[in-house]
Amino acid sequence: MGEIVEKLKEKNLLENTIIVFTSDNGTHKEGGRNQNDIEYFKSSGIFRGAKRDLYEGGIRVPFIISWEKGFKKNQTLNTIGAFWDILPTFNEIAGIHASAKTDGISLVNTMKVNAKNRRKSLYWEFYEGGFKQAVISGNWKAIRFYKGAEAERTELYDLNVDPSEKSNLALQLPEKVKQMVLIMEKERVASSHPLFQIK
């Protein structure tokens, strides 16, 4: 990264260049790596899970952005976003008003003034290892696991006090679980692709 920054400075391009450092998912168990490696090297930090999990270790990633003339330096934002927010964010920066429908929202204002973004929730689903869904709404996160086409169980976590997802609160807070499941059902769009069928 240092070499990239130096080259941009040398070419007088740094002020008008946006640099992003991020990842598409958490650490993985491929290529000979296993859970013991993840635990030994603390590859997921304090977070539970890895790539292909819907726990935070599988879906929470670093997102570092630098824009000399656009964003304040050395600020940390405690806000949620996802990769589908990148296109509308960069469109706004570039002054482009795309007409294509997207689930993303621009995070420009959030990053410029550390404002709360407009997003109420984030939704994921994943089919590998059995269909599962997850939703984050405010500080709450629910993960629903399926056995075949039937929902088998739903886990509930308060990420503000339990970012490691160690304390499943589903039995203590059944009404909150119902609220989160309703969000999942509202957000899910059925796909005709065979890999994304609940079966």
- Quickly state the pLDDT bin for 117 (edges 50, 70, 90): low
- Quickly state the pLDDT bin for 57 (edges 50, 70, 90): very high
pLDDT (average), residues 62-85: 87
Which residue shows structure tokens 């119902």?
178
CA–CA–CA angle 150, 152, 157 (5° rounding): 130
pLDDT reading at 99 higher than 70: yes
Q: List phi, psi (to 5°) of 20.
A: -125, 135
Of 102-116, 123-137, 151-165, give the lowest mean pLDDT range. 102-116
pLDDT single digits (tens) 24-55: 899 998 888 888 999 999 999 999 999 999 99
pLDDT single digits (tens) 158-178: 999 999 999 999 999 999 999
pLDDT (average), residues 15-27: 91
DSSP code for 199: -
Asked whether 34 and 19 are in contact (CB, 8 A), the reply is no
pLDDT (average), residues 85-95: 92
- Give the integer Cα–Cα distance in Å for 163 and 180: 17
DSSP codes, 45-93: TT----TT-SSHHHH---EEEEETTTS-SS--------GGGHHHHHHHH
- Give the integer Cα–Cα distance in Å for 63 and 82: 10
pLDDT reading at 118 higher than 80: no
* pLDDT computed for residue 111 by the predictor: 84
* Reduced 3-state DSSP string for 166-194: CCCCCCCCHHHHHHHHHHHHHHCCCCCCH
pLDDT reading at 3 higher than 80: yes
| Contacts of residue 155, Cβ cutoff 8 Å, sequence gap at least 6 | 142, 143, 144, 145, 165, 168, 170
**Mean pLDDT score of the chain:** 91
DSSP code for 165: -
Global pTM exceeds 0.75: yes
